[in-house]
Amino acid sequence: MAEEKKAFVMYADWIATFNLLSDEESGRLIKHIFSYVNDENPEFPKEDRLLAISFEPIKNQLKRDLKKYESKKAQFSVAGKESAKVRRLSTTQVYVLRFYSSSEQFIKVGVTDNSIGRRYSSSGIGSSKLGYKFDIIAQFFPKENGYDVLEMESFIKNKYHQFQYTPNNKFGGYTECYLIDSLQDIITDLTKLNDVEHRSTDSTVKDIVKDTVTVIVTDTVKESVINNIGNSPTQNFSFGKQPIEVLKKNCAGHTTWLQSIGMKNSLLMPQVLEWFEAFCLHLAASGKTEETEQEFKRYCASWIASEVRQGRKPITTPPPEKKMKIDATTAIQSALIKKYGKQDSNA
């Protein structure tokens, strides 16, 4: 009998077989049946051919019943897994919260199968101990054939690692906190990932999140919450490419972002600003004239970290060599023209 199977069916019409046997033979047959269903592999002696013949149709029926049991067990297992998946999909979520206090604000991305209120009331984040309040900005419930919550959370963590923010008061899950600047981009990416019905190994995440989509916010928070954050001196949301000079002017006012660069590279704010100026000069020298705000910030943070690690100093004025070469060439040309006069263009 199957493992963990504790019951079997005895059929009423078996009585006809037992009625043809003596009481002693019936007792031996019933004991043989119980021994068989308990996987003891019993065998009748050769002289008990009558009992062996009587047991054969019973054994065949028990085998048929076992096959039915195994088939139903597999069906129930699949159904149970599907039911659990449906329950998980209906309750497990990726959430985006805005935490704030009198001195700071930041974004928290997380996963829970609990209510958000219960999740954070039990951890004490909303209590006076840590001093944070929070707004629910968005909630994403994964689709059956889409990306699951852990994949979505992992994608955000990998893509926005340059924008991670360490709260003044640390709490469980603080490593999934991000600069307030990244709010709209994070929601955009999560919305796109959550809208993907079928994943393809040939497509990349860049294909999935390359377009801008409309954000659907929860009933708890009005759309104005996001707009009001945009009025903060640390945040101005933008998605398309902008001239480098515009980005330089806007991002120079994103204090929280600049402070995060300083903390990661052990730089004071005046030093960060000097490095920021050096980065803008570096970008201009490369010939790039426009970029998205997100890519500008990502590249800036990465470039500064690389330069600091290599022990370099920020260069905030363009090198004079190029200008000197141009001036020297112009001077030589002027001297030749002055000495020999302007040549005829037809000569």
| Residue 332 tokens, joined | 């030589």
- Render each residue's pLDDT in the chain as its tens digit; 347 residues: 667 788 899 999 999 999 999 999 999 999 999 999 998 989 999 888 999 999 999 999 999 999 998 888 888 777 666 665 555 555 578 899 998 888 889 999 988 877 777 777 655 555 446 778 888 888 888 776 667 788 888 889 888 988 899 998 888 888 899 998 888 889 888 888 887 654 443 343 444 444 333 333 444 443 444 444 443 333 444 457 888 888 888 888 777 788 878 888 888 888 999 999 999 888 888 888 888 887 888 889 889 999 999 999 998 887 665 544 445 666 666 666 666 665 444 44
Residue carrying the six token digits 């994949």:
151
Interhelix angle 223-230/183-195, rounded to 10 degrees, is: 140
pLDDT attached to residue 43? 92
Question: Is residue 173 left, alpha or beta, with left meaning phi > 0 and alpha meaning psi from -120 to 50?
Answer: left
Contact 165, 100 (CB under 8 A): no
Measured distance CA(29)–CA(59) in Å, rounded: 11
Residue 326 burial (CB count, 10 A): 10
- Domain ranges for the chain, please list them: 12-88, 92-230, 238-347
Contact 280, 199 (CB under 8 A): no
What SS3 state is found at 13?
A: helix
Contact 140, 190 (CB under 8 A): yes
pLDDT attached to residue 341? 62
pLDDT attached to residue 339? 61
Q: Which of 101, 92, 21, 98 is nearest to 55 (CA)?
A: 21
| Residue 149 tokens, joined | 């919550």
Is pTM beyond 0.75? Reply is no
Concatenating the DSSP letter of every residue in 134-195 gives: EEEEEEEPPPTTS--HHHHHHHHHHHTGGGB---SS--TTGGGEE-GGGHHHHHHHHHHHHH
